[in-house]
Amino acid sequence: MLKILRIILLSGLFVPALSFADNMFVDVNLLFSVPDGGGNSDFHTGKTLLVNYNFYLKPWLIATGGVFVTEKISTKPVTDVVSKHQETIDSRGITFGVRSEHKFSERNKIYGRLGFLYYTTELTVEEYFTPGIPVSKVSDTTDGYGYYAGIAWAHSFSKKISLQLELYSMAQLDLFKGKTSTPFDLKNTGISIGVGYVF
Amino acid sequence: MMHMLGLSKNLINLISVTLFSISIVACGVEVENNLPGVPTTGFYAAVGANQHATESTVQVAAVIFVDGEPINLYGGDVIQASTTVDSTLLLDFGYYVGSYTSELRNSANLDQIDFEIVHKPVEARKDRWYPVDHLYTDPGPGELVGSSASIILPPGLAVITPVAGSSYTSINDNLNVTWTPLGAGDVMKIYSAVSCDDGTKIKTYGTQATLVDDSDDGSETINLDQFIYNSENLPISVNLIQGQARAMLLALLKKLSNGGILDTFFANTTPVNPISTNCEVRLFLLRQRPGSFNLPSTNGIVFGSRSAEVTLDYNPAN
3-state per-residue secondary structure call for A48-83: EEEEEEEEEEECCEEEEEEEEEECCEEECCEECCCC
Strands B300-314 and B167-168: parallel
Identity of the amino acid at B148 = S
User: Which residues lie closer than 8 Å to A70 by C-beta, 6 or more apart?
Assistant: A46, A47, A48, A49, A89, A90, A91, A92, A188
Q: How far apart are CA A63 and CA A40, in angstroms?
A: 37
CA angle (B61 as vertex; B308, B220 as ends), nearest 5: 30
Which of B125, B135, B136 lies at the smallest CB-CB distance from A123? B135
Angstroms from B141 CA to nearest CA on chain A: 12
Rounded Cα distance between A197 and A159, Å, is 9
Interatomic CA distance for residues A68 and B303, integer angstroms = 59
B185 and A CB contact within 8 Å? no
Mean pLDDT of B138-159: 94
Confidence tier at A22 by pLDDT (50, 70, 90): low
Specify burial of residue A187 (Cβ count, 10 A radius: 0-12, 13-18, 19+). Answer: middle
End-to-end CA, chain B: 53
pLDDT of A18 higher than 50: no
Query: Shortest Cα distance from B96 to chain A (angstroms)?
Result: 14
List the single residue in B121, B129, B137 with the smallest CB-CB distance to A37.
B129
Distance CA A119, CA B102 (A): 39
Closest B-chain CA to A41: B129
Do the Cβ atoms of A176 and B121 come within 8 Å?
Answer: no
pLDDT tens for each residue of A94-125: 999 999 999 999 999 999 999 999 999 999 99
| Spatial contact of A69 and A29, defined as CB atoms under 8 Å apart | no
Mean pLDDT, all residues of chain B: 86
Could you report the predicted ipTM of this complex, rounded to two decimals? 0.86
Residue B129: which of A40, A140, A179 has the nearest Cβ?
Answer: A40
Strand partners, A103: A109
Contact across the interface for A40 and B131, Cβ inside 8 Å = no
Contact B146, B3 (CB under 8 A): yes
Predicted confidence (pLDDT) at residue A4 exceeds the cutoff of 60: no
Residues of B in contact with A172 (CB under 8 A): none
Q: What is the pLDDT of residue B7?
A: 32
pLDDT at residue B40, as a whole number: 87
Q: Which of A9-23, A130-144, B121-135 has the lowest mean pLDDT?
A: A9-23
Tell me, yes or no, if A86 comes closer than 8 A to chain B by beta carbon. Answer: no
Classify burial at A153, counting beta carbons within 10 Å of its beta carbon; exposed 0-12, middle 13-18, buried 19 or more.
middle
Alpha-carbon distance B99 to nearest alpha carbon in chain A (angstroms):
10
A48, A28 in Cβ contact below 8 A? no
What is the DSSP secondary structure assignment for residue A20, as one 8-state letter?
T
Residue B39 exposed, middle or buried by CB count within 10 Å (0-12, 13-18, 19+): middle
Does residue B9 register a pLDDT over 50? no
pLDDT in tens, B172-182: 999 999 999 99
Q: Are strands B300-314 and B43-52 parallel, antiparallel or unpaired?
A: parallel
pLDDT tens for B51-68 read 999 899 999 999 998 888
pLDDT tens, position by position, B291-318: 999 877 778 899 999 999 999 999 997 6
Confidence of residue B4 (pLDDT cuts 50, 70, 90): very low
Is A81 within 8 Å of B100 when comparing Cβ atoms?
A: yes
Q: Is the dihedral of CA B118, B120, B124, B126 positive or negative?
A: negative
Contact of A126 with chain B, judged by CB distance below 8 Å, is answered with no
Q: Is the pLDDT of residue A42 over 50?
A: yes
Contact A183 B121 (CB under 8 A): no
Distance from CA of B124 to the nearest CA of A (A): 7
Nearest to B134 among A83, A136, A180 (CB): A180
| Nearest-angstrom CA–CA distance, A36 and A187 | 5
HEC secondary structure over chain B: CCCCCCCHHHCCCCCCCCCCCCCCCCCCCCCCCCCCCCCCCCEEEEEEEEEECCCCEEEEEEEEEECCEECCCCCCEEEEEECCCCEEECCEECCCCCEEEEEEECCCCCCEEEEEEEECCCHHHCCCCCCCCCCCCCCCCCCCCCCEEEEECCCCCCCCECCCCCEECCCCCEEEEECCCCCCCCEEEEEEEEEEECCCCEEEEEEECCCCCCECCCEEEEEHHHCCCCCCCCCCCCCECCHHHHHHHHHHHHHHCCCCCCCCHHHCCCCCCHHHCEEEEEEEEEEEEECEECCCCCCEEEEEEEEEEEEEEECCCC
**Residues B252 and B286: beta-carbon distance below 8 Å:** no
Asked if B140 has any chain A CB less than 8 Å from its own CB, the reply is no
Contact yes or no for A82 and B137 at CB 8 A: no
Q: State the count of interchain CB pairs (< 8 A) between A and B.
A: 75
SS3 content of chain A, % helix, strand, coil (to 5): 10, 65, 25
What's the mean pLDDT in B258-268? 86
Mean pLDDT of B201-210: 93
Answer positive or negative: Cα dihedral of B175, B181, B183, B189: negative
CB contact, 8 Å: B91 with chain A?
Answer: yes
Q: Is B144 on the interface with A (CB under 8 A)?
A: no
Asked if B100 is an interface residue toward chain A (Cβ–Cβ < 8 A), one would say yes
Q: Does residue A125 belong to the interface with chain B, where contact is any CB pair within 8 Å?
A: yes
pLDDT at residue number B5: 31
The dihedral built from the CA positions of residue B73, B78, B82 and B88, taken in this order, carries a sign that is positive
Q: Does A132 touch chain B (CB under 8 A)?
A: no
